[in-house]
Amino acid sequence: MEYLIGIQGPDFVLVAADTVAASSIIQMKHDYDKMFKLSEKILLLCVGEAGDTVQFAEYIQKNVQLYKMRNGYELSPAAAANFTRKNLADYLRSRTPYHVNLLLAGYDEHDGPALYYMDYLSSLAKAPFAAHGYGAFLTLSILDRYYKPELTREEAVELLKKCVDELNKRFILNLPAFNVRLIDKHGIKDLEKLPLATTSTS
Amino acid sequence: MHSRRFRHTRECRQELIGRHLEHVRVDIEGATSLHSMAGVGRKKDGAREERRGGEFQHGVIVAVDSRATAGSYIASQTVKKVIEINPYLLGTMAGGAADCSFWERLLARQCRIYELRNKERISVAAASKLLANMVYQYKGMGLSMGTMVCGWDKRGPGLYYVDSEGNRVCGDSFSVGSGSVYAYGVLDRGRREDLSVEEACELGRRAIYQATYRDAYSGGVVNLYHVKSDGWVCVSQNDVADLHRKYLDEAK
């Protein structure tokens, strides 16, 4: 039902998430934001079971902020990803595991852009592109086919549009809008929501 | 995704036919399941929803029915499903009656403590977050609660949907309960940017009426509240049968 996608470029990471908050067959909200800002250059995209998503993401968010307050400097994206994974793993075999699927995207001054894929079983993988949800089945092959490691920002947005068009064409559920954000050395930037009115659906 | 969390919805729909009378009495007293249209809360505010353009500017309209059921038995037609948390905050009831009234009463206590500690009224966002965090601790243990926290704080009108699954979303209109799907249809199609207070009240009333028409677990009377900047007022109480006659006559 929910869809997350991330594409890493040479000096940026582009992420997008659908904006539907659903409860069984009803769309409760059409403009729900599934991205959580962990720091100036790290975003956590979180989908999964109701309640678990917000509670877990906010827990990670507050802890990353606390680290910054205590130590005077921020966690790097790699450290934040591993911290998140460790928390997921610790809760996995408890009475209350968190059923959440995550994408963590960030920009580090020394290591550059990074995209991490995490799932509810607390696996962690650094990847050039990644997606979560049923929509991932339809779009991963598009990413495989058209992705190049040195793609520009415009090319990344075009690739994202290809994925969204494919979802609009073949995915049985209606995902009317996507939040799109770009992280680079200047920080997090909101891009235009997709799909655009003029996007073709063929 | 297969969650090991206990699915409470099936539990609430127990068949009572053939059970001993003793058990029936316990069920009603214990956790009467309100599988009925609880609330249609709408809030639109120019200040808060600037990018949506001017929508309903006058606060939050809350409309509820008043039926309580235990299985297919109608336990009561006169339930108060709007809980008055404090003079500027309302909560609606859907799901288990005991769960809703207990937790919202606890929320009222927490809101009052907040006021005493901070010498300031609690915001709708904070009140709904308190409730959401409280029930999240009991996730999977069988609580059944779907509620809308409606109020007016310094940021304007506020409407949040909170349930026992852990959902908490802010929005400008929601519909909760077994008849919610029917109410959504009428509510969504009747919404306009320039609704007056009377028109909005009528829309809420009509949405609940249409839900009671189609849903067996909704009925009784339609209670309507309006949350304004200086607090909530109870606008009207209309029996669904009277509304039915009125709308039928209008259609002729």
Written as tens digits, the pLDDT of chain B (252 aa) is: 344 444 434 333 333 333 333 333 222 222 222 222 333 444 332 222 222 233 467 889 999 999 999 889 999 999 999 999 999 999 998 988 889 989 999 999 999 999 999 999 999 999 999 999 999 999 999 999 999 999 999 999 999 999 999 999 999 899 998 888 999 999 999 988 788 899 999 999 999 999 999 999 999 999 999 999 999 999 999 999 999 999 999 988
Q: Does A21 touch chain B (CB under 8 A)?
A: yes
Distance from CA of A98 to the nearest CA of B (A): 10
User: In chain B, what residues touch A32 (CB-CB under 8 Å)?
Assistant: 169
Choose among A48, A51, A99: nearest Cβ to B136: A51
User: In chain A, what residues touch B170 (CB-CB under 8 Å)?
Assistant: 29
Distance from CA of B175 to the nearest CA of A (A): 9
Distance CA B87, CA B108 (A): 11
- Kindly report, residue by residue over B63-111, the tens digit of the pLDDT: 999 999 988 999 999 999 999 999 999 999 898 888 998 999 999 999 9
Q: Across the interface, do B166 and A49 touch by the CB < 8 Å criterion? A: yes
Q: What does the pLDDT average to over A29-52?
A: 96
In this structure, are strands B68-70 and B73-76 parallel, antiparallel, or unpaired? antiparallel
Residue A45's DSSP bridge partners are A35, A103
Distance CA B89, CA B70 (A): 29
Q: Across the interface, do A54 and B168 touch by the CB < 8 Å criterion? A: yes
Q: Does A51 touch chain B (CB under 8 A)?
A: yes
Distance CA A185, CA A201 (A): 34
User: In chain A, what residues touch B132 (CB-CB under 8 Å)?
Assistant: 51
User: In chain B, what residues touch A23 (CB-CB under 8 Å)?
Assistant: 163, 165, 167
Q: Does A55 touch chain B (CB under 8 A)?
A: yes
User: In chain B, what residues touch A28 (CB-CB under 8 Å)?
Assistant: 161, 167, 169, 171, 174
What residue type is assigned to position B61 of the chain? Answer: I
Distance from CA of B247 to the nearest CA of A (A): 27
Q: Which two tokens stand for residue A31?
A: 């403009």
Q: H helices of chain B, where? A: 8-12, 21-31, 97-118, 124-136, 180-190, 197-214, 240-251
Q: Does residue A36 have a pLDDT over 60? A: yes
Choose among A25, A51, A96: nearest Cβ to B167: A51
* pLDDT value of position B191: 86
User: In chain A, what residues touch B145 (CB-CB under 8 Å)?
Assistant: none
Q: Which one, of B68, B73, B63, B59, lies nearest residue B100 by Cα?
A: B68
Choose among B133, B166, B171: nearest Cβ to A28: B171
Report the SS3 class of residue B229. coil
User: In chain A, what residues touch B161 (CB-CB under 8 Å)?
Assistant: 28
Q: Which one, of A71, A147, A135, A69, lies nearest residue A101 by Cα?
A: A135
Q: Across the interface, do A99 and B1 touch by the CB < 8 Å criterion? A: yes
Q: Across the interface, do B167 and A23 touch by the CB < 8 Å criterion? A: yes
Predicted model pTM:
0.83
Q: Is the peptide bond before A128 cis (omega within 30 degrees of 0)?
A: no
Q: Does A32 touch chain B (CB under 8 A)?
A: yes
- Kindly report, residue by residue over B23-33, the tens digit of the pLDDT: 332 222 222 22
Q: Across the interface, do A50 and B167 touch by the CB < 8 Å criterion? A: yes
Distance CA B139, CA B168 (A): 13
Distance CA B56, CA B60 (A): 9
> Phi then psi for A35, rounded to 5 degrees?
-105, 135
Distance CA A170, CA A190 (A): 27
Determine the angle formed by the axes of helices A135-146 and A153-170, rounding to 10 degrees. Answer: 140
Q: Which two tokens stand for residue A72?
A: 């005077």
Place of tokens 């994202």: A160
User: In chain B, what residues touch A21 (CB-CB under 8 Å)?
Assistant: 167, 169
Angle, vertex CA B223, rays to CA B218 and CA B229, nearest 5? 135
Q: Does A50 touch chain B (CB under 8 A)?
A: yes
A24: number of Cβ within 10 Å? 7
Residue in B8, B167, B178 to test binding to A, most A beta-carbons within 10 Å: B167
ipTM of the complex model: 0.87
Residue in A24, A25, A29, A34 to test binding to B, most B beta-carbons within 10 Å: A29
Distance CA B222, CA B205 (A): 7
Sign of the torsion formed by the C-alpha atoms of A44, A45, A47 and A53: positive
Residues on chain B bordering chain A, Cβ-to-Cβ distance under 8 angstroms = 1, 3, 5, 132-133, 136, 139-140, 161, 163, 165-171, 174, 180-181, 184
Q: Is the peptide bond before A77 cis (omega within 30 degrees of 0)?
A: no
- Determine the residue of chain A that is closest to B181 in CA distance: A26
% of chain B residues with pLDDT over 70: 78
Quick check: A46 and A32 in contact, CB under 8 A?
no
> Phi then psi for B2, rounded to 5 degrees?
-115, 110
DSSP letter string over B17-43? Answer: TTS-HHHHHHHHHHH-EE-S--EEEEE
Q: Across the interface, do A29 and B166 touch by the CB < 8 Å criterion? A: no
* pLDDT value of position B56: 61
- Kindly report, residue by residue over A73-131, the tens digit of the pLDDT: 999 999 999 999 999 999 999 999 999 999 999 999 999 999 999 999 999 999 999 99
- Determine the residue of chain B that is closest to A101 in CA distance: B1
